[in-house]
Amino acid sequence: MGTTENFNTTMRHFAIITICTLCIACDTEKPANGNLPPENKLVPTWPDTRKTTGGSFSITLNPTGGEIVENKHFSLDLHVKSTVTTAGVLEVKVDADMPAHGHGMNTQPEVVAGKEGAYRVDGMLFHMAGEWVITVEVGSQGKMERASFPVQIE
């Protein structure tokens, strides 16, 4: 074989090895059944409930109207349940971003407290399709915990 043929054969093998390596890496991140585990599901069934990072709170999130649509303002109904005794007034913050794009929303959500752990979040807008993550931070007396809600917008 000539030098050009050796080079072409080597490059084909390199490409095949690279593709196989990428496929193996992808498969190791997914469960055998191909589905994301429940805590990482992208299209949640609303309402969706998750515990905060420290386990002190349980957060239930539900879009008003039951769905989130690309480039359409929406509100969230939010319920915070404390799993431990907390002193003081709870502070609740809500935001969302697109981790793959490195940016967040073009709007600033407003959280309004209701009765007995109920909150309403207005001013949400996912201006483009893709994977978004809604982050809810809850805490009191300076100690904040967070819960993340990944959502796929088509």
Walk along the chain (154 residues) and give the pLDDT tens digit of each residue. Answer: 565 555 444 444 443 333 333 333 333 333 333 334 444 446 568 999 999 999 999 999 999 988 999 999 999 999 999 988 766 789 999 999 999 999 999 999 999 999 999 999 999 999 999 999 999 999 988 899 999 999 999 9
Instruction: Tell whether 84 and 148 lie within a shared domain.
Output: yes
Q: How far is CA 11 from the centre of its chain?
A: 39
**Helices marked H in the chain:** 3-29
How crowded is residue 75: how many other Cβ atoms within 10 Å of its Cβ?
A: 17
> Does 131 lie in the same domain as 67?
yes
Q: In degrees rounded to 5, what are phi and psi of residue 66? A: 85, 0
Residues 62 and 126 occupy one common structural domain: yes
Q: By C-alpha distance, which of 69, 75, 72 is closest to 154?
A: 69
Same domain, 44 and 22: no
**pLDDT, position 88:** 73
Domain that holds residue 7: 1-30
Question: Number of folded domains in the chain?
Answer: 2
51, 16: one domain = no
pLDDT given at position 42:
60
Count Cβ atoms below 10 Å from residue 27 Cβ, excluding itself: 11
Do 14 and 86 belong together in one domain? no
CATH of the domain at 144: 2.60.40.3340
pLDDT score for 30: 33
What are phi and psi for residue 59, nearest 5 degrees? -110, 130
Whether residues 119 and 140 share a domain: the answer is yes
Q: Are residues 66 and 130 in the same domain?
A: yes
116 and 72 share one domain: yes
